[in-house]
Amino acid sequence: MLVSLRAARLLLCSCFLLCSFIARAQPTDTRQLMPVPAQLTWGAGRFALKGKLGIRFETDTDPAVRAAANRFATRLNKKTGFAQPKPALTIRYGRVGGVKLGEDESYSLRVTPVGIALTSATSLGALRGLATLEQLLTQEKKSYYFPEVDITDQPRFAWRGLLIDAARHFMPVAVMKRNLDAMAAVKLNVLHWHLSDDQGFRVESKLLPKLQQVAASGQYYTQAQVHDVVRYAAARGIRVVPEFDLPGHTTALISAYPVLASNDSVYAPAQRWGVLNIAIDPTKESTYQLLDTLLTEMMSLFPDAYFHIGGDENNGQQWRRNPRIAEYMRANNMMKENGKFDTHALQTAFMRRMLPIVTKGGKIMVGWDEILAPDLPAEIVIQSWRGRKALYEAVKAGHPALLSNGYYIDLNYSAGSHYLNDPLLADNGLTPEQQQRVLGGETAMWAEFADSTILDSRIWPRAAAIAERFWSLSTVRDVPDMYRRLAIASRQLDGLGLQHRRVPEQLLLRLAGKQYVAPLGVLAGVIEPVKEYKRHRQGFTYTTQTPLNRLVDAALPEAEAARQFGVDISALLQSMATATNSKLPKDAQTLTTFNALRTTLSTWQKNDALLQPLLTTEPSLREYAPLSVQLATLAGLGLERLRLLEKGEKPTPAWQAAAVRQLEAAKAPAGQAELAIVESMRKLATL
């Protein structure tokens, strides 16, 4: 899925009509937990760790639980000394829970000053409880403890997914595994593994070997590696749902097997991005024979009940232009009232032919919302990425459905915008039965601008906020508190081996060297990659071979320094709104905020002089010089506005007009990045 429709309208804010099991009071003290449990009560005590954590398994039939508990204990025990006098953590579960949709993930966790008890109906629930327990660990100087707490927890949605695109940029097994560890830590439970696209087919086929010989460009998963990743995921309570995109996004597939093509062109795996509108021929029986062979083999590699076959972004252009396919549509009444060819009807017919192949493999078909049609079999799951309209239409037509609209983290939007998005609107007009068909949602990380090196920094920690939206009560919507806990979650994920913090730092050091890394870091901290898919359209040609090692790749999707600046500006504006005149209030909180803003702006104003020697001499950084200049200029503007505030003076209309012009100029991107402070600075300047 690519540029044409994956745009800003993917972000819609909503609230969820509560499921019956969560009609409880919202927790008010969230502390460091993410996702927030359904019910929790904090006590005044703590369980202090005086050494290694001992564990007693009252149920010991699932090796996944023992392995997860031992991993947790190993990480913990690196920080402590001698052994506990007796086991401190007791784990009890009723039965071994399968990694399948709808399995019971509930658990209860009780921490007292004398020990910890984790109880669940299934071993899957025990895994979720262990993830919560690890988040509860608190450090106080050189000692560690678990706060006293009583938790009863269960998820809102059964399907809580993360899509990782390994087709456009190949993601090695080690990258997949560390992201699975992160998913388990925040209770995401579905890896949607996008394995084929125009740029590559990424799984070994023993029956159709040209797929790895021609369509993979040397980068693919062996079947043994697929089994390894699936086992690794299952041991963490995560299902793996593969996607092999059909009938569009199939350039790589056609390059290996030209018999599938809708025209006489010869293709190689695509090396450019964009919606290429290349599709397989759905009118030939040989197409279905080959796909039967391929999909049957691929389905055997993935034990999950669900199998995704794509169906997105095929405009039917090649079908209309092929006289033979056009005649097929005409002969089969696939025509619109205006006399034009109905290529959507042909795609629906294709999907109907795919269904028995998928069903024969024991799977339930999943497809993107373009496949939705009045006569589509109701058992097919619809994944809505273009808007809630398709989600609601799907469940009204009897389909199970998923929401990805509003959760596309490759668009570089803020964690807060995704967090306030919700799978169901309160006034959705759906019956209770229709609401039950909304299985949950998935966040999507498409990889045009994320290779295996920077992937983690594009997913995390923002995906943790979305994980909370899928797991926690819909009433858990405090954005400032979410950001506070997200920072804690980010550090915890770093401790699991995620590279989301380290790699950007290493890339900055590589770009700047030790002498200039600090001022370059200041600039990187206030810029973000341009939003949506504007990187495709800003004068720099990207291909699959383009290294992602520029400043725009080191900059995070959400610049924390810029976000905090916006928080401080909002606090100052709120304080000024209560003032009786134009003078700055003198209360301690306002003065602290004011001084923090002045310090920040002063740092930004001085930074350009420190950085320009590097920007003017280093070719790879020269394109970012305008952003550095604009940062210094805006900082000077902000300092002047603070000076006027401190004196109780109002800016002249001419000053404000000049400030607005400067702010408009500062919106211009450079090097596919943009200053993230412009709108906050506008609020200050126009105050």
Residues that are catalytic: 313
Cα(55)–Cα(49) distance, integer angstroms: 13
Q: Transcribe 331-356 into DSSP letters.
A: HTT-B-TTS-B-HHHHHHHHHHHHHH
**Which one, of 67, 68, 56, 64, lies nearest residue 96 by Cα?**
64
Task: Give the amino acid at 293.
Answer: T
Cα(204)–Cα(669) distance, integer angstroms: 41
Which contiguous run of DSSP H or E holds residue 257?
none
Asked if residue 648 lies in contact with residue 584, where contact means CB atoms within 8 angstroms, the answer is yes
Cα(413)–Cα(12) distance, integer angstroms: 12
Q: Which residue has the tokens 């979720």?
A: 128
Cα(485)–Cα(528) distance, integer angstroms: 22
Q: Which residue has the tokens 């290429």?
A: 276
**Which one, of 429, 437, 309, lies nearest residue 378 by Cα?**
437
Cα(482)–Cα(60) distance, integer angstroms: 36
With 0-12 / 13-18 / 19 or more C-beta atoms within 10 angstroms meaning exposed / middle / buried, residue 122 is buried
Which of the 8 DSSP states describes residue 41? E
Task: Give the amino acid at 33.
Answer: L
First to last CA, the chain: 42
* Pairing state between β 239-246 and 306-310: parallel
Phi, psi torsion values for 415, nearest 5 degrees: -60, -35
* Pairing state between β 364-368 and 115-122: unpaired
Cα(406)–Cα(257) distance, integer angstroms: 36
Cα(525)–Cα(545) distance, integer angstroms: 27
User: Between 653-666 and 678-685, two packed helices, what is the crossing angle to 10 degrees?
Assistant: 180
CB contact set of 513 (below 8 Å; sequence gap of 6+) = none
Which contiguous run of DSSP H or E holds residue 615?
helix 588-617
For the chain, the helix, strand and coil percentages under 3-state DSSP, each to the nearest 5: 45, 15, 40
Phi, psi torsion values for 98, nearest 5 degrees: -75, 155
Cα(96)–Cα(313) distance, integer angstroms: 41
Asked if residue 253 lies in contact with residue 243, where contact means CB atoms within 8 angstroms, the answer is no
Which of the 8 DSSP states describes residue 123? H
Both tokens of residue 180? 């699975």
Sign of CA dihedral 498, 501, 506, 511: positive
What residues are paired with 150 via a beta bridge? Answer: 41, 110
Helix (H, G, I), strand (E, B), or coil: what is residue 309? strand
Q: Transcribe 373-414 into DSSP letters.
A: -TTS-TTSEEEE-S-HHHHHHHHHTT--EEE-TT-BGGG---
Cα(299)–Cα(242) distance, integer angstroms: 9
Helix and strand totals (H; E) in the chain: 23, 18
Radius of gyration in angstroms for the set of CA atoms belonging to the chain, rounded to a whole number: 27
H-type alpha helices, 268-401: 285-299, 317-321, 323-331, 343-360, 388-396
Both tokens of residue 623? 């394109």
